[in-house]
Amino acid sequence: SDVRGFWRSIVEGRDQIKEIPPNYWLIEDYYDPDPAAPDKTYGKTGAFLDAVPFDAMAYGVPPNVVQQTDTSQLLGLIVAQQVLEDAAGGDFQHIDKSRISVILGATGATELVVHLGSRLQRPIWLNALRANGVPEDEAQAICNRIADSYVPWTEASFPGLLGNVVAGRIANKFDLGGTNCVVDAACASSLSALSMGLSELHLHQADMVIVGGVDTLNDILMYMCFSKTPALSVSGDCRPFSDQADGTILGEGLGMLALRRLEDAERDGDRIYAVIRGIGSSSDGKGTAVYAPKASGQAHALRRAYAAAGYSPRTVELLEAHGTATKAGDVAEFTGASSVFGEADPESKQWCAIGSVKSQIGHTKGAAGAASLIKTVLALHHKVLPPTIKVDRPNPNLAIEESPFYINTQVRPWVRDSSHPRRAGVSSFGFGGSNFHVTLEEYTGDAGRKDEFRPSPTELFLLSGANFQELSEAARQLTAGFDRADSFQFLARSCQLAFRSTDRLRLAIVARDIVDLRAKLDAATTAIERDPASAQQAPTGWFYSGDDASGRAGKLAFLFPGQGSQYVGMSGDLALAFATSRTIWDEAADLEFEQGGQLHEVVFPQPVFSDEDRAAQEERLRATEWAQPAIGVASLSLLVLLKKLGIQPDAVGGHSFGEVTALHTAGALDRKAFFSVARKRGELMAEAAAMFPGAMTAISHAADAVASLLASWNTGVV
């Protein structure tokens, strides 16, 4: 229900696809596994919006017309308010609304069109009943009963069913004076709206444009459309680019973004999530069928986008594909993208991650481009390569190993050297050959507030009290009235702000969700009640300080590990959750290694699909020339985070390579020197190991480096 929850679900790889809820349509009424069954769908799964509270009066919608107003119009108001408040930094009332436009992608029918149109079939029902000899009064009564299943026609019905009023209602409620309209490019509608919005800014017809897509139509009409094409998955799942891909799954959703000219946003100190560098569009032209995708047509859109951006696709490391998981669609898209990216560097292979959010939320049709765009913007903002789930093996027809792409099936920190900013592309294609591609870049300037939606699977809860009664009451009150999943982060932040570190009794809990939190609160308070004086902790994730005032804090030592502690992905969770830790890996990305390659490529390698390949990745990291600098950078990524938290050691020490990290921590080596020593030490020890296998060796030709190191060693450092 908000962008933070959306990003969290992406990073955690949550699968949102499930069976059709009964309030949409009944599986027993419309489902048949035979794709050829008349008036039946072979699909019975999808991705659906949860129920959302709607305060009609707060949004200026008379309660008596809510039933005659399409869901897209109502939910559109909620999303628009979120994006406007975010864009205005919480001060929306004081910005110039006269030059704000709202342009949204919306396809064809709305759900209310289906309901109101169905009600008009009464003459057909009545004639059928009469023809079958049903008495007139009984036939009329039956028709009345059927009609009562649909929304009645009123004076509010016409505006309530129109797709363009999704934008119009937003402009009306928030007093926006710019353009308001919707555009329809089928499944590319969101990026079509983006293209129009960028034109408004370029021509200075608006100073801010709200763009995106809206689609809440997961009714049986849509299932029938996609079933008879046929495009739905036979197995009931969406697996883009997988060898098991057999069709798409329908989803629904709304997503909006605020656009401004970069110079205006920087001048006003706006929060800037990413920068759009170019957009390209094309048509497929003449083809075999109006709905059959054409690789060459899609490639035109990509070439135009990168020409507008002014940089090569070789510098792009993430492509959020349209990725419907249909066999024809995936192959056509992959072929088109490979041709464009391959032209940029014919010799290099698999430098760019490719994926699709549809593996998690299905195909949201008119809102599909918005979902992809928001995912990619947040990936750039948080420096994270997001996962595409459900790919056990790539589709062999893609020949992906010989392409510029690899499928990123695991969330990984997006590490990048200083040669250029992080860059990404987003594709969206619609029936009828409507093709769009947008190029994006991370924002590297100083303007704006740097908000981070920390993608951690857990939250920290802190409670305190002067005595057990106070602590117990705080624990009881903590979750009272909080049952919605989207309140979890708010709850954690609230209790952290209320925490008093001066209280004698202090309780910390690490929890995954509300259910987990309540269970740990119960377990902790029960244990504390039995012995409130003693410090206690549980391996499940709660920690209690105890009421023993005589206890005094001891001194703190940091002991750093040596070779043998390395493993693929080490410290990746820190780099994902905390920018402070990730920047250490970014700095290390500029190191040059004699053996070639970059350190993060060895520690956070591209996902592979066999045990043999995974073992090879582990073996590569065990090589001394990689292991030692990797351990050093991983240790440093934790060290800088501890320092930011105010945790400083009284003494430092290290085992084997860890001695180098200890020297840096003690101030004997600055960061640049530490990186150099870590890299060179690994190379020299690898060379020595090759000369004297199985032995600890002193390397004579490193004597100068050792002497220099000893000369800079601060006396008294352990």
Amino acid code (one letter) for 15: D
Residue 438, classed as helix, strand or coil, is: strand
> For 55-62, which contacts have Cβ atoms below 8 Å and span 24 or more sequence positions?
59/173, 60/172, 60/173
Whose structure tokens read 């570190």?
501
Separation between Cα atoms, residue 5 and residue 7, nearest integer Å: 5
Non-local CB neighbours of 248 within 8 Å, separated by 6+ positions: 226, 231, 232, 233, 238, 324, 325, 326, 329, 358, 362, 363
- The burial class, CB within 10 Å (0-12 / 13-18 / 19+), for 500 is exposed
Whose structure tokens read 């590569």?
620
Separation between Cα atoms, residue 618 and residue 595, nearest integer Å: 17
Separation between Cα atoms, residue 663 and residue 287, nearest integer Å: 67
* One-character DSSP codes across 75-88: HHHHHHHHHHHHHT
H/E stretch holding 46 reads strand 45-46
Residue 608, classed as helix, strand or coil, is: coil
H/E stretch holding 434 reads strand 434-441
| Residues marked as catalytic | 187, 322, 363
Beta-sheet pairing, 434-441 with 423-430: antiparallel
Separation between Cα atoms, residue 333 and residue 335, nearest integer Å: 5
Whole-Å CA distances, 335 to 230, 281, 291, 326, 424: 22, 17, 17, 14, 18
Separation between Cα atoms, residue 419 and residue 399, nearest integer Å: 30
Question: Hey, how many other C-beta atoms are within 10 angstroms of the C-beta on 603?
Answer: 30
Non-local CB neighbours of 676 within 8 Å, separated by 6+ positions: none
Amino acid code (one letter) for 436: F
H/E stretch holding 101 reads strand 100-105
Q: Which of 162, 189, 104, 114 is nearest to 366 (CA)?
A: 189
Non-local CB neighbours of 216 within 8 Å, separated by 6+ positions: 49, 70, 71, 72, 75, 110, 111, 252, 253, 254
Q: What would the 3-class secondary structure string for 242-287 be?
A: ECCCCCECECCEEEEEEECCHHHHHHCCCCCCCEEEEEEEEECCCC
Residue 539, classed as helix, strand or coil, is: coil
The interaxial angle of helices 624-644 and 611-622, nearest 10 deg, is 80
Q: What's the chain's length in residues?
A: 718
End-to-end CA distance of the chain: 53
Residue 103's DSSP bridge partners are 181, 211
User: How many angstroms from the chain centroid is the CA of residue 505?
Assistant: 38
Question: Hey, how many other C-beta atoms are within 10 angstroms of the C-beta on 457?
Answer: 12
- Identify whether the C-beta of residue 327 lies closer than 8 Å to the C-beta of residue 245: yes
49 backbone dihedrals φ, ψ, rounded to 5°: -70, 140
Separation between Cα atoms, residue 638 and residue 489, nearest integer Å: 24
